[in-house]
Structure 1
């Protein structure tokens, strides 16, 4: 287990998946990254400042959240709604294989993750 209590191998898998989402040649324009918290991982899309007035910080848009339940060893997928709250994505059940949820985010059959 990682310091946060999340399985290290799963965290590494999500980080690797994020790294592979955007080709190296355009990472100055957009990035997909993973933010780690004690019980979940959040996949975020980052973009550079579009104007000098907004400052030097990249903006981030949370795309999906992967919550881990230690007791069952399962991951559950969440999407962000229009009110900026995360809601359970019910088209895939909780799973022990975080890769199944990453596949669903990439596939995005409803357009809820990537638009």
Structure 2
């Protein structure tokens, strides 16, 4: 089930603020940028990079997933392993606000998201 219009508006606002604070400098965004996408109850944080053999084309690579669980009103944090499967982020797998999930991803004390 997708987010309600009001909830989606709040999520987009939070993600816009997060991106404004975290995006790389303007002069290198053509080589590396950050973005997000929303699919159902899942929010994907993504790196945007040119394709290595066709630099005129960009590709989005998800590095974190935050899933909203409506029944508990909690946000679950996932990271992608080298096998391209999503795993619960062990240090802090569940938080009660999207902002806290984004903070934990940026702190990344176990280097799951940013190496």
TM-score (norm 1): 0.83
Residue matched to 2:100: 100
- 1:87-115 C-alpha deviation (Å, 9 max, x unpaired): 00121142221111111111111111011
Q: Which runs of 5+ in 1 are unaligned?
A: none
Task: Check the 8 A contact 1:18/1:43 in 2, yes or no.
Answer: no
Give the deviation of 1:57 after TM superposition: 2.2
Distance 1:55 1:32, change over 3 A: closer
- Give the paired residue count: 111
More divergent stretch after superposition (94-103 vs 34-43) = 94-103
Higher strand proportion = 2
Shift of residue 31, structure 1, vs aligned partner:
0.9
Q: Distance in 1 between matches of 2:12 and 2:77?
A: 14
CA displacement, residues 33-69 of structure 1 (integer Å, 9 cap, x when unaligned): 0111011100010112334xx3632122211000001
Equivalent positions of 1:83-94 (< 5 A) are 83-94=83-94
What is the root-mean-square deviation in Å for CA atoms of aligned residues?
2.0
In structure 2, what is the Cα distance between the partners aligned to 1:40 and 1:11? Answer: 13
Larger mean CA deviation between 13-22 and 36-45 belongs to 13-22
